[in-house]
Structure formats: C-alpha cells, structure tokens
C-alpha cells in the first residue's frame, strides 16, 4: 500500500517537472506573451 502511494507521488512529481520544463521551453521560443502559459516562468530582469 505504501509503495503504491510513493509510486503515485513520484509519477505526479515527474509530470509536474515535465510541465515546468515545457513552459520554460515555450517561453524561451515564443517569449513571455506565449499563449497557454499564463505565468511568467523565467524570471529575467
């Protein structure tokens, strides 16, 4: 049971990291006004 919970948490963490990485790539390519990325992920001053 505990192994199932830990496995699920690991999968959710991987999915979250993948979404963050995708958002960064989209902002690098299209800039901060990219559609579908409501937050500014890159903090460039």
Cβ 42 vs Cβ 27: under 8 Å = yes
What confidence tens digit (pLDDT) does each residue in 1-45 have?
Answer: 999 999 999 999 999 999 888 888 888 888 766 666 666 666 554
- HEC string for the chain: CHHHHHHHHHHHHHHHHHHHHHHHHHHHHHCCCCCCCCCCCCCCC
Q: What's residue 22's pLDDT?
A: 86
| Structure tokens given for 17 | 């990291």
- CA 26/CA 41 separation, integer angstroms: 10
Model-level pTM greater than 0.85? no
């Amino acid at each position: 049971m505990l192994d199932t919970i830990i496995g699920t948490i690991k999968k959710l963490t991987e999915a979250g990291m993948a979404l963050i990485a995708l958002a960064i790539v989209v902002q690098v390519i299209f800039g901060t006004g990219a559609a579908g990325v409501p937050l500014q992920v890159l903090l460039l001053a």
